[in-house]
């Protein structure tokens, strides 16, 4: 073990253990790229060979009160060289007892970062233009909510199907296309 302390009380700021794990307490600033498991070529480069196929990035809010968020924020720089949020992905704890959370996607437009998509953890409902979808797919707009299907085939034959919505049922006795 190697430990670095920040004060006479022995508060641990950096700890390196025998398994090559590093733990930081407080904040750190790096002037170049950071690599985890790889020599970095980007600001943050994470590389790990994992036979299960899963490599995780774990972001945790230790406050488990409903309404607390954990987020990934994307920022850009405007023409005045000032930073602004271009997009956000927010996980919102909605019910800490049942462990429900919602996932919100925000995008920047006209000087504000606006919520555009919501996935409700408790129901699986997906909302576009609403943060409280009450159906599996719920679209809401300030004028008209339109679904557009575009076929990019420029050589479509006469009377060919260029798009559609198919209604399917798992019940072989019900209406619609049977699965």
Q: Would you place residue 119 in the very low, low, confident or very high pLDDT band (cuts 50, 70, 90)?
A: very high
Higher per-residue confidence, 30 vs 134: 134
73-85 pLDDT per residue, tens: 888 888 888 888 8
33-46 pLDDT per residue, tens: 888 878 888 888 88
Give CA–CA dist 142/129, Å, rounded: 9
Q: Is the pTM of this model over 0.75?
A: no
């Amino acid at each position: 073990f190697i430990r670095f302390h920040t004060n006479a009380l022995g508060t641990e700021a950096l700890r390196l253990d025998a398994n090559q794990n590093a733990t930081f307490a407080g904040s750190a600033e790096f002037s170049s790229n950071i690599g985890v498991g790889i020599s970095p070529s980007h600001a943050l480069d994470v590389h790990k060979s994992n036979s299960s196929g899963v490599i995780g990035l774990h972001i945790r809010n230790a406050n488990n009160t409903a309404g607390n968020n954990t987020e990934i924020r994307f920022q850009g720089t405007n023409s005045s060289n000032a930073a602004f949020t271009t997009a956000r992905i927010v996980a919102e704890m909605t019910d800490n007892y049942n462990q429900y959370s919602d996932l919100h996607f925000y995008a920047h437009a006209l000087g504000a970062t606006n919520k555009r998509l919501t996935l409700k953890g408790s129901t699986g409902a997906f909302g576009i233009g609403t943060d409280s979808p009450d159906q599996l797919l719920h679209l809401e707009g300030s004028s008209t909510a339109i679904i557009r299907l575009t076929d990019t085939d420029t050589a479509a034959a006469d009377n060919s199907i260029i798009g559609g919505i198919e209604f399917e049922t798992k019940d072989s006795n019900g209406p619609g296309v049977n699965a």
